[in-house]
Amino acid sequence: MPDYNFYDNVYDVVRLIPRGRVTSYGAIAAYLGNKGSSRIVGYAMMAAGTAKPPVPAHRVVNRQGLLTGKFHFGGNTMEELLAAEGIEVKDDKIQNFKQLYWDPSVELSL
Which residues of the chain form contacts with DNA (CB under 7 A)? 5-7, 24-27, 34, 36-46, 48-49, 57-58, 60, 62-64, 68-69, 72-73, 78
CB of 32 to DNA, least distance (A): 9
CB of 48 to DNA, least distance (A): 5
Separation between Cα atoms, residue 9 and residue 51, nearest integer Å: 12
Separation between Cα atoms, residue 104 and residue 82, nearest integer Å: 19
Question: In terms of CB distance, is 18 or 63 closer to DNA?
Answer: 63
Which run of H or E residues covers position 23?
strand 23-24
- H-assigned helices in 16-93: 25-32, 38-48, 70-73, 77-84
CB of 110 to DNA, least distance (A): 22
Question: In terms of CB distance, is 20 or 30 closer to DNA?
Answer: 30
Question: In terms of CB distance, is 15 or 73 closer to DNA?
Answer: 73
Cβ distance 67 to 61 under 8 Å? yes
